[in-house]
Structure 1
Amino acid sequence: MTKCATSRVVARMLGGVAFTAMALSGGAAFAQTAQGEQVQDAIVVIGVTKQATLLQETPIAITALSGDQLETQGVRQVGEIANFTPGFNIRGAGNNPTAIILAMRGQVQGDNIASLEPSVGTYIDDVYVARSYGLNVDMLDISDVQVLKGPQGTLFGRNTSAGALVIRTNDPVFDEISGSVKATYGRFNEWNTTGIINLGLSDTVAIRGAVSYGERDSFATDIITGRKYQGTETLNARVKLAWKPSDTLTVTLSGEWYDGKVEGPPRQGLALFLNPFLFGPSPEAQAQVAALQGIADAQLAAFAGNPDLLSISQPAAHPGAPEKGLFNDTTTQTYIARAELETDFGQLKWITGYRRVKSDNIIDLDGFVLPIHMTAGTQDLKQFSTELQLTGAAMDDRLSYAAGVTYLTESGTDQSRTNILSNPVWSRFLGEIDNDSIGAYVQASYNITEALRVTGGVRYSIDDKGITVYNGNVMGYDGPLVSCSPASVSVANDCARSRKDSWNNLSYTIGLDYKITDDVMVYAKQSRGFRAGAQQLRSLTLEDSAPAEPEIVNEQEIGLKTSTWDNRVQFNIAGFHNTVADAQRSVILAVGGVSQTVLENADMENWGVEADVNIRVAPGLNLFASGSLVDSKHTKYDGFSVLNGVLVPEDKTDARIGAIAEKQFLVGMNYEGNVGFGTLKANVTYSWQSDINQDGNTIERYTRPLTEAGGLGFTQAQAETLLDVTTTKAHGIANARLGLAFGPEENYEIAIWGRNVFNVRRPNYTLFLNGLNYVGTSWNDPATYGVTISARF
C-alpha cells in the first residue's frame, strides 16, 4: 500500500467513524477498554500526566488488560499480550528464549545484546527494565498490563520511541488477610503451582507474597540421537512490604526472583547451500562439500515439514564445547523501593530500582547435524535507576501536571563465543558496558473549557554510553586467547579497545482533545521520541566501530473514542503517521570469513490505523474485535555489505522490513452466566497476523553476483527458497477457556483450556547467515490443553 493510499484510508475511516459516532451517541462516556470489558469495570490507567485516569479520558491509544482479564483470556506469558493489542508484535529473542523483541507502529529492534536499546520500553512497577532477559515468563500476581502506543518520550523517556509496555503487580492490602492457590496440569506433562498470600497485619503494615513453580517435558525430538528438547523449569517469586507510617506517606519495598531453565532451545534447519569457498578449491575438498550437502538435504527430507523433528550437531563436533550440549539458564533479581508522599501541592513519589541478570546458554544456530555454527552466550548485567516525580492539580483542577528527574546506570558484560565448521579456534565477542542516563521532564494538561483540553510536555535527556570490547579468537570453548580481532589490537592488552559517546535529546508532545458530547471524544497530537545511540559490541574492524546514531521519531496521531446504545457498543480508532530518522538496524555479515554483527542506520516512514470494538450482546455476553494496518518503508538506508571479504558501504533502501506484521486482527467472545450451582465463564479468541519478513534480502539481492556490493550469488531457485523460508506466513492462533466458579462466594474454580487449539505452527525467530549460507529457525509451541483448579480465601 502506498503512502497516499494509506493516508486516504486513515482519513476516510476516521471521518466516517466520527460522523457515525456523533449521530448515534447517547450513552455513558466511552472507555477504551480491553476487549470484552464493560465500562463500569474500566481499568484505571496512566494518564498523560502520570495520574490515574479512565481510558476514555486519556487522549492516546492504549490497550489495557486487568489481572482478571489476563486469566480469563488465557494470557499466560508476557509475549502473549500482543495477541490482544492491535499493531503490537512480540517474538522471542534469537539468542535467548526468555527474552523478547517488541515491535510497534513499524519500529523494532531485532537484536538482543547489551549495547542495543529497544524501541518499546518495558516498565514493571514504575521501574524501567533495560534488558529483556527473564521477561518472557508466566505473569505472577498481576494488577494490570497497559500498552501505550506512539512515542512516550516525555513521561517515560529514552527507548520508548514506538511506545511503552507497562506491567503493574498487585500491592499489599492493609487490614486484610487473603490469598489464593492454583494448580495447572496440561499436555506434555506441563504443570504449575501458584500461591499468593496477603497479610494485612494492621492498617499501617501489610505483606504480600507470591510464588510460582512449573515444569514442562520436552516435545521436540532429535532424529539421530533421540534426545528431547524444549523442556522447561521455572521458579518465580515476589515479596512486597507496604508501610504507612502516616496518613500522607506510604512506603513499599519489593523483591522478585526468577530462575528459568530451557532444554535447548533447539533450532531446525530450513535451508542450506554450502559455500564451496569455505573448504578450498581442491577436488577432495569439493567432494567433501558435495557429501556434506547430501547429508543436509537428506535431513531436510526427513523433517518433512514437521517442526518437532530436529538434528542437532553434537558438542563433540565443536572442540571444547560443554558435554551437556544445548541449554539455557537465566536468573534475575529485582528490588524496588517506592515512597509516596501526599502534600498540599500534589503527590511526591520516589522510585528506586535495582535489577541483575545472569544468563548462560549454548545454541546450535543452523539447526543441522553438520557442525556449521554453534554459539554460546553469557550475560552478567546490572542496572540501578531512580526517579523523583511530582504530580498534582491546580487552578480548581483545570490544570494537571507531572514533573520529575530520572537517573539510570547500567554495567556488566555480554559475551558470545562462536565455533564454525569444527575449527579448534572459537571467535570471542566480549563487551563490557558502562551506561549512564539522566533526564528531566514536565508535562501538563489544561482544560480550556469543559470540553476542550490541551496537553504539552518536554523532556531533556543525556545519554553517556561507554564500551570496552575484548574481541578475538580463543583456543577451544574457553581456552587462552590466541589472536585479536582486528589483528592490529594487542593480545597483551587482552584485545581491549574502548570508546565512550554522549548524546542529548529534547523530546516533546503537544495535543488537543475535545468532547463532542459526553459520549464522544476526538483528539490529535504531535510527539517526538528517541532511542539512545548504540555502541558496536560485535564488530571486528576498527573502521566500523562508530556507534549507531540515536533514533529520532516524529509522529502525528488522531483518534476517536466513543460509546453508543447505552454503553452496549464501544468503539475506538486511531490513525498515525511517523517518520523515523536513523532507525537502528543490526545485521550479521561475514567479513573476511568471520561472522560479526554490524549496526547500521536507516530512515523510515510509517502510516497506520488501529481500531477495536466491544459489543455487549446480552447480559454477560460480549463480542469483541480489534485490528491494525501499518504501511512501512525505508526512505533511506546507508548500510554495509561485504565485497571481496571487505566491509563496504551499500545503499539498502530496497531491503525488506523485518519483524513487522502489516495486518493484524483479533476476534473473540466472553460469556459469564449463572447456571444454578455456580457461574460459567467462557472465552474464545482468534488472533491473526499477515506475513512477517525475517530477513531483509530480496530476490534481486539474493541473486546479485558476488562481484557486486551486496551480491549473494545464489541461483534463482535458491533465492526463491530463501525468500520462502525467511518469511513467516500469515496465520491465526485460537485459544479457548471454559471455567466454572462455585462455592459460598464463588471462590473455587475449575477450568479447562487450550492454547493454539488448531495446532498452527509457524517459525518464531529465523536467521539467514550469508557466507555459511544456512537458514535456521525456532518454532512456536504446538497445541496445548489442560485443566486449572484454583481457590481464593
Structure 2
Amino acid sequence: MKCALLAGVAWSTAATASMAQTAAPAADQPESVTNIDEIVVTARRRDEALKDVPVAVSAIGAERLEETGAIDITALQQQTPNATVQIARGSNSTLISFVRGVGQQDPLWGFEPGVGLYVDDVYIARPQGAVLDIFDIERIEVLRGPQGTLYGRNTVGGAIKYVTSRMDPTEAELTLKGAYGSYNQIDLLASGSVPVTDTLRIGAAIASYDRDGYGQNLNTGAEHYNKDILAGRLSVEYQPAENVFFRLAADRVEDDSNPRHGHREVAGTGADAGVPGSVYDTRAGVGDRNSVVNEGVSLTAQVDLNDVWTVKSITAYREGDTDTVIDFDNTPRPTLDVPAIYADHQFTQEFQALFQYDRIQGVIGLFYLDGTASGAFDTIAGNLGLAIGTAGFVETESVSLFTDVNIDLTERLHLSLGGRYTSDTKKGDVFRANYLGATRTPLLGGTARPTLGAARTDYTASKDFNDFSPKVALSYDFSDAVTGYASWSSGFKSGGYDMRGDAISTPQTVNGYDPETVDSFEIGLKGSLFDRRLSFSSAAFYNEYQDQQVTTQVPVVVNGVTTGIASFVDNVGSSTIYGAEFEGALTISDNLTANVAVGYLQAEFDEFNRFNLTTRVFENIANLVVLQNAPEFTGYFGLTWRGQLAGGDLAVTPSVSFRDDYSLFEFPNPILDQKAYSLVDLSAVWTDPSDRYTVGLYGRNLTDEEYRVGGYTFPGAAFNDSQIGYYGPPRTFTASLQVKF
C-alpha cells in the first residue's frame, strides 16, 4: 500500500510534497477540472493564485467535497497529507487537529489548540462545536506549518480556513438537499438568498443532521455514536457603492447527540466490566445526556480606497455552552465518571490594510481578542470513595500587530517578509478539592458537603506573554507554470494555567506553563507540467519544536495506595520534526483524472522532562516517549471519471486513503495505539443537463475497517483497568438529492 501511494511522487521532478486541489485540463477537458494557476486562495490574507503562494496549502473546493461525499470538516484528514482532523475522544462535535505532528488533543478550557481554525477570517478560539458540517461552502484551505505571521494565535502547526459562499448579487436562489443513508441517516438542508434592492441581499441556510447510533449503551439501551444536530446561518450583504462592501453573518449550532463513552478494550473486574462485542457499544452508567450550543455573529466591512489600497475590518463575537458526561470506566458503576460543563465567549476585532503596487504587495494589520473560557467537572472515583471537583476560568486579552509584504525583486524572483508581535495577558483561576462520597460534588449541583481536608488547589494568578514571530520566504518562477520557494517561519502558542493542576502533588502548577514555539524551514515546488496535464505542489520541511506543552494525568499513590489523580501541563522540552509532502492531479484522458496526496513524517523528542511524584524532581525520559498523532506515512489516491449519462454529467470517484501506525498518547500503549489502516470509498454524482438536479450515491469505509481515533487509559485496580477506545465510522451508504430553484 505504501509503495502504491509513494509511486505518485514520481510524477514530479520535485519528488517531495505539498499541494492543493485538482489538476490541469487540456483544451477539451471538462470545466470542472481546474489548473493550479487558476486556484485562488487567501492564505496570505489576499486573493492569489495558489502557485504564487510560498506556503504549503491544500485547497479543497465545494465541488471536490461533494464528489467525494465529505460530510464534515474531518474529511480533510483523508485528502490532506500529514494532517489529523478528528472528532475529540468522548465528544460529538469537538475538533482535534494536528498538522505535521503539532497540535493539541486536550479540549479542556484554558488549553489552546495548536492548529488555528477560521471561519471567513473569524478566529475560533475553542474546539467545542468546531466540527463544522459542510454546507453553504466555497472551499476549505489547510495551511501547513507555522502561520504565526498572518494568523498568529496558536497556529504553530498550521491553520484551517472554512470559507463560505457569497450570495448571487442579482438573482434569487434556493437550494434544497436531502440525504438518506445507513443507520437511518436523514440529512436535510435548505439554503438561499434574495436581492432586496440593487445593493442589499439577504441569505440563509438551515441544516438538520440525524442518524441512529452505530452502537448501543448496553446498560441503558440508548443509542451510542448517534447524531442529532441542527445548524443555521443568516447573512446580510450590503454594497452601497462598487468599492464598499459589508457582510453581517450570524450562525448557531445545536448538538444534542448522545455522549460518546467509548469502548472498553480490556476486561475489568466484575461481570459488567467485560469487553462488548461491537467496538461501538458501551455499558456506561453515568447517563446519556449531552448538549452543545455554539453561536456567533460577525461584521465584515471592506472599502477599496483606490487601485492600490483596501481597508478591511472584521468584528466578531462568539459564545458556547457544553453540558456533557463521559464514563471512563464504561461500566454501570461510578468507577471513573466525569460529568462536565464548559462555557466560553470571545470578542475579536481585526483591521487590515492591503496594498498592491506594481512590484510590492502586502498587508498590515491589527488583531485584538478578549475571551473567557470556564468550566467545572467532577472525577467520580467509586473505588476510592470520593469525587474530585475541579472548576475555574481563564481570561485572555491579546493584541497583535502584523505585516506580510511581497517584493518582486525581478520579474521572476520574489521576496516575502513578514512579522507579528503578540502581547497576551492571561488570568487563571483554579479550584480543585476532594469530597467524600462517589457522587457529584457541590460544584456540579451534587449533595452539599465540605471538602475532604484542605483544597488541593485554590489560586488566582495572571501572567503576560510576548512574542515576535518572523517569516522570510524567497520564491522563483522557473517558468510561467512552475514556481519554487524556500522559507523560514516561526510559530507561537501562548502559555497558560493547568485547570486540572493539583498544587499539593505538583506545587509548580501555580506558576502556570510557558509558551511553545516552532521554527520551520521549508522548500517547495509547485505548478504544472506536461502541457498542464499534471498539476502538483510539493514541499520538504524541518521543524524545531521548543518548550513543548504536554498534558498527562497519572494516579497519585501514597504508601502503595492510590488516593487520586494528578495532572501535569508541562513545557516538557523539545522535539525535531521533518518530512515531505506531495499533492497532485494528473489528467490521464479527457474523462479520467487521478488525484494523489502523500505525506512522510519523522518526529522524535530530543528532551522530555517529567515531574516524578516520588522523587519530586524532573527527569528526562525522552527515550520512553513519542509524538502523538504523527504517523510516518499518510496518503490518498483517487480516480475521477467524468462522462455523460442520460444527457447529464456523471462523476464517479473511487478512492483509498492510508494512515500508518500512530500513537494516541506520548506514552506508547500497545492496547490503544492504532495500527496502519486504509479506508476505501466510492461515490457517484450525476447532474442533469440544466444543472438543476444533482443525485449522489456514496459508500464510505467499504471494507468496514475498525480504527481508533482516540482513547483514554487509567490502568490499575483503583480504576478497574479502564482503557477505552473511540472509533471512526463503520461502513456506510448514503443517497442524496439536491434541487436548485
TM-score, normalising length: structure 1: 0.85
In structure 2, the residue matched to 1:392 is: 355
Q: CA deviation at 1:18?
A: 4.4
Q: Which runs of 5+ in 1 are unaligned?
A: 1-9, 22-29, 274-292, 316-324, 490-494, 699-722
Q: Which amino acid aligns with 1:578?
A: N
Contact residue 262 and residue 280 of structure 2 kept, 8 A = no
Asked if 1:111 is matched to 2:59, the reply is: no
Counterparts in 2 of 1:669 and 1:42: CA distance versus 1, 3 Å: farther
| Residue in structure 2 matching 1:589, options 554, 561, 564 | 554
| Residue in structure 2 matching 1:182, options 171, 174, 177 | 177
* 2:64 match: secondary structure: helix
Q: Which amino acid aligns with 2:318?
A: R
Q: Which amino acid aligns with 1:430?
A: A
Q: CA deviation at 1:31?
A: 12
Q: Which amino acid aligns with 2:591?
A: G
| Residue in structure 2 matching 1:139, options 130, 134, 157 | 134
| Residue in structure 2 matching 1:753, options 682, 689, 698 | 698
Asked if 1:549 is matched to 2:514, the reply is: yes
Asked if 1:650 is matched to 2:619, the reply is: yes
In structure 2, the residue matched to 1:566 is: 531
Contact residue 574 and residue 610 of structure 1 kept, 8 A = yes
Contact residue 62 and residue 137 of structure 2 kept, 8 A = yes
User: 1:399-442, CA deviations, whole angstroms, 9 ceiling, x for partnerless residues?
Assistant: 00100111001114221111112666421111112111100011
How far apart, CA to CA, are the structure 1 residues paired with 2:12 and 2:608? Answer: 37
The percentage of counterpart residues that share the same residue type is: 23
| Residue in structure 1 matching 2:658, options 684, 688, 691 | 688
TM alignment of 1:197-208, pairs within 5 A:
197-208=192-203
Let me know the Cα RMSD of the aligned residues.
Answer: 2.4
Contact residue 229 and residue 256 of structure 2 kept, 8 A = yes
How far apart, CA to CA, are the structure 2 residues paired with 1:508 and 1:69? Answer: 34
**Displacement over 6 Å in runs of 4+:** 13-16
In structure 2, the residue matched to 1:610 is: 581
In the alignment of these two chains, the number of paired residues is: 706
How far apart, CA to CA, are the structure 1 residues paired with 2:549 and 2:361? Answer: 36
| Residue in structure 2 matching 1:466, options 427, 432, 453 | 427
| Residue in structure 2 matching 1:96, options 80, 88, 91 | 91
Contact residue 326 and residue 364 of structure 1 kept, 8 A = no
In structure 2, the residue matched to 1:515 is: 477
In structure 2, the residue matched to 1:502 is: 464
Contact residue 62 and residue 147 of structure 1 kept, 8 A = yes
How far apart, CA to CA, are the structure 1 residues paired with 2:396 and 2:387? Answer: 28
Counterparts in 2 of 1:496 and 1:86: CA distance versus 1, 3 Å: same
Counterparts in 2 of 1:125 and 1:647: CA distance versus 1, 3 Å: farther
Asked if 1:479 is matched to 2:446, the reply is: yes
Q: CA deviation at 1:466?
A: 0.8
Contact residue 117 and residue 159 of structure 1 kept, 8 A = yes
In structure 2, the residue matched to 1:76 is: 71
Q: Which amino acid aligns with 1:692?
A: Y
* 1:98 match: secondary structure: coil
Q: CA deviation at 1:682?
A: 1.2
* 1:471 match: secondary structure: strand
Asked if 1:209 is matched to 2:170, the reply is: no
In structure 2, the residue matched to 1:413 is: 374
Q: Which amino acid aligns with 1:264?
A: P
In structure 1, the residue matched to 2:300 is: 338
Q: Which amino acid aligns with 1:791?
A: V
| Residue in structure 2 matching 1:353, options 316, 328, 347 | 316
Contact residue 265 and residue 327 of structure 1 kept, 8 A = no
How far apart, CA to CA, are the structure 2 residues paired with 1:137 and 1:528? Answer: 28
How far apart, CA to CA, are the structure 2 residues paired with 1:270 and 1:346? Answer: 59
* 1:266 match: secondary structure: coil
TM alignment of 1:221-236, pairs within 5 A:
221-223=216-218, 226-236=221-231
Q: Which amino acid aligns with 1:790?
A: Q
In structure 2, the residue matched to 1:170 is: 165
User: 1:552-610, CA deviations, whole angstroms, 9 ceiling, x for partnerless residues?
Assistant: 11110000113122111122210000101011101012235222431012211001000
Contact residue 18 and residue 57 of structure 2 kept, 8 A = no
In structure 1, the residue matched to 2:670 is: 724
Q: CA deviation at 1:202?
A: 3.0
* 2:74 match: secondary structure: helix
Counterparts in 2 of 1:666 and 1:185: CA distance versus 1, 3 Å: same
Asked if 1:736 is matched to 2:736, the reply is: no
TM-score, normalising length: structure 2: 0.91
Asked if 1:451 is matched to 2:434, the reply is: no
Counterparts in 2 of 1:407 and 1:574: CA distance versus 1, 3 Å: same
In structure 2, the residue matched to 1:261 is: 256
Counterparts in 2 of 1:436 and 1:244: CA distance versus 1, 3 Å: same
TM alignment of 1:268-287, pairs within 5 A:
268-271=263-266
Contact residue 204 and residue 234 of structure 2 kept, 8 A = yes
Counterparts in 2 of 1:607 and 1:16: CA distance versus 1, 3 Å: farther
In structure 2, the residue matched to 1:708 is: none
Q: CA deviation at 1:657?
A: 1.8
Asked if 1:373 is matched to 2:373, the reply is: no
Moved more, 407-416 or 627-636: 407-416
How far apart, CA to CA, are the structure 2 residues paired with 1:16 and 1:681? Answer: 24
How far apart, CA to CA, are the structure 1 residues paired with 2:382 and 2:15? Answer: 64
How far apart, CA to CA, are the structure 2 residues paired with 1:684 and 1:190? Answer: 22
In structure 2, the residue matched to 1:46 is: 42
Q: Which amino acid aligns with 1:380?
A: A
Counterparts in 2 of 1:398 and 1:536: CA distance versus 1, 3 Å: same
In structure 2, the residue matched to 1:34 is: 21
TM alignment of 1:626-637, pairs within 5 A:
626-637=597-608
Moved more, 420-429 or 605-614: 420-429
Q: CA deviation at 1:675?
A: 2.5
* 2:261 match: secondary structure: coil
Contact residue 134 and residue 331 of structure 1 kept, 8 A = yes
How far apart, CA to CA, are the structure 2 residues paired with 1:457 and 1:387? Answer: 17
Counterparts in 2 of 1:768 and 1:594: CA distance versus 1, 3 Å: same
Larger radius of gyration: 1
User: 1:53-92, CA deviations, whole angstroms, 9 ceiling, x for partnerless residues?
Assistant: 1111111110001112211111111111121111111122
Counterparts in 2 of 1:31 and 1:538: CA distance versus 1, 3 Å: closer
In structure 2, the residue matched to 1:307 is: 279
Q: CA deviation at 1:531?
A: 0.6
Contact residue 326 and residue 363 of structure 1 kept, 8 A = no
Contact residue 31 and residue 563 of structure 1 kept, 8 A = no
